[in-house]
Amino acid sequence: MSEDILRISLITPTYNERENIPILAEEIFAVIAQYPEIDLELIVVDDNSPDGTGDLAEELKDRYPIQVVHREGKLGLGSAVMAGFAHSDRELLGVIDADLSHDPVVLPQLILGLRDHDLAIGSRYDPESKVEKWPWYRKVISQSGVFFARRLTGVQDPLAGYFFLHRRVIDKMVLTSPGYKILLEILVKGQYNRFMEVPFIFRNRQFSSSKLNWTEYYLFAKQLLLFWLFKKRFSGHSKSN
Ligand SMILES: Nc1nc2c(ncn2[C@@H]2O[C@H](COP(=O)(O)OP(=O)(O)O)[C@@H](O)[C@H]2O)c(=O)[nH]1
Ligand SMILES: [Mg+2]
């Protein structure tokens, strides 16, 4: 598909991201405007945010190619991503957090990477990446999770929330991750051969607050164990980098 137009749906799950969503849309479409070979629609999946993010996203439709999926209440990040995938009719899919942590500057590199890779991941752990001022405990937790998940997948940042893929990678799998870290499940169960990782600067959220809590950490630890068992039973992906 080397010279074709790359038609992609970029999913952004939102829960109380009113301040962030207009800036995110502006940044994304400013970057993409410079790449005529990329045709991107943004799909906002909002869980009835009390701060009115969903309605604000509706207003942005006048200015940008945006679709908004409204869900009844807070049903979790992973399931929001899946709802976005289900809503899209495009072959290429991507995920970006709405809180401006995932710098849209690297979007073209990630999306163009799909021309010869099944998966493209924005990596926080490349020597060229930077993670802005995380509290120490968050760093420790993230890095321990990454340590185990890396051994499971061979990917530098298997817990990234910024990733892109061909729909065929997930066509045959049933995603079960309700909460965070849906990429890990895709890496364990998905159909892919070639993946790439692109370093970027992970910016701290400026507005609103993180929705990551102890329940999410617990769910993640449980998931890691299940994937480990799954991997042991059905081992065998050929991956190249
Ligand atoms: N639709 C939806 N979005 C969510 C939910 N939980 C988190 N998000 C969004 O997922 C993204 C990542 O969440 P965030 O709280 O920043 O997690 P962190 O970056 O790991 O601290 C943000 O865009 C959130 O608004 C949820 O239950 N439903
Ligand atoms: Mg965040």
pLDDT (tens digit per residue) in 123-136? 998 888 877 777 78
- Per residue in 190-201, pLDDT (tens digit) is 999 999 999 998
The residue contributing the CA closest to ligand 1 atom 11 is 97
Q: What is the structure's pLDDT at 180?
A: 65
Task: Answer yes or no: is 165 within a domain.
Answer: yes
Which CATH number covers residue 153?
Answer: 3.90.550.10
C-alpha to C-alpha distance for 124 and 138, rounded to whole angstroms: 14
Q: Is there a domain that residue 241 lies in? A: no
Nearest-ligand number for the alpha carbon of 20:
1
Instruction: Specify if 240 maps to a domain.
Output: no
Mean pLDDT of 133-155: 83
- pLDDT category at 43 given cuts 50, 70, 90 is very high
Domain that holds residue 134: 6-233
Tell me the Cα Rg of the chain: 17
Q: 1 lies in a domain? A: no
Least confident of 13-27, 37-51, 118-132: 118-132
Distance 205 CA to ligand 2 centre (A): 6
Task: Judge whether residue 241 has pLDDT over 50.
Answer: no
Cα–Cα distance, 149 to 25 (Å, whole number): 31
Q: What is the pLDDT of residue 3?
A: 67
Counting the structural domains of the chain, the total is: 1
What would the mean pLDDT of 161-187 be, rounded to a whole number? 88
Has residue 7 got a pLDDT over 50? yes
Residue of the CA atom closest to atom 19 of ligand 1: 210
CB 208 within 8 Å of CB 16: yes
Give the closest ligand to the alpha carbon of residue 101: 2
Residue 28: what pLDDT?
98
DSSP state letters, the chain: -TTS-EEEEEEEEESS-TTHHHHHHHHHHHHHTT-TTEEEEEEEEE---TT-HHHHHHHHTTTS-EEEEE-SS---HHHHHHHHHHH---SEEEE--TTS-B-GGGHHHHHHHTTT-SEEEEESSSTT-EE----HHHHHHHHHHHHHHHHHH--S-TT-S-EEEEGGGTTT------SS-HHHHHHHHS--SBEEEEE-EEPPP-SS-----HHHHHHHHHHHHHHHHHHHHS-----B-
CA end-to-end distance (rounded Å), the chain? 19
- Residues 6 or more apart whose CB falls under 8 angstroms from that of 69 comprise 43, 44, 45, 46, 83, 84, 87
Mean pLDDT (the chain, rounded): 89
Q: Is residue 239 part of a domain?
A: no
Q: What is the whole-number distance in angstroms between the Cα of residue 210 and the centre of ligand 2?
A: 6
What percent of the chain clears pLDDT 90, i.e. is strictly above it? 64
Predicted pLDDT at 237:
53
Residue 81 domain-assigned (yes or no): yes
- The CA distance from 237 to 241, in Å, is 13
Among 13-17, 99-103, 124-128, 166-170, the range scoring the smallest mean pLDDT is: 124-128
Q: What is the mean pLDDT of residues 41-50?
A: 98
Is residue 224, in this structure, part of any structural domain at all? yes
Judged against a pLDDT cut of 90, whether residue 239 lies above it is answered with no
| Count of alpha carbons within 13 angstroms of residue 167, beta-carbon side | 15
Q: Is residue 40 part of a domain?
A: yes
pLDDT band at 208 (very low <50, low <70, confident <90, very high): low
Q: What is the pLDDT of residue 119?
A: 98
Q: What is the mean pLDDT of residues 81-102?
A: 96
> 206 versus 142: which is more confidently predicted?
142
What residue's CA is closest to ligand 1, atom 18?
210
Angle at 65 between CA 60 and CA 70, to 5 degrees: 60
Q: How far is the CA of 65 from the centre of ligand 1 (A)?
A: 22
Q: What are phi and psi of 49, to 5 degrees?
A: -55, 130
Residue nearest to atom 16 of ligand 1 (CA): 210
Task: State how far the Cα of 70 lies from the Cα of 122, in Å rounded to an integer.
Answer: 27
Q: What's at 3, amino acid-wise?
A: E
pLDDT, tens digit, 9 for 90 and up, residues 49-89: 999 999 999 999 999 999 999 999 999 999 999 999 999 99
User: Which ligand is closest in space to the CA of residue 54?
Assistant: 1
Please give the distance, rounded to the nearest whole angstrom, from the Cα atom of residue 100 to the centre of ligand 2.
8
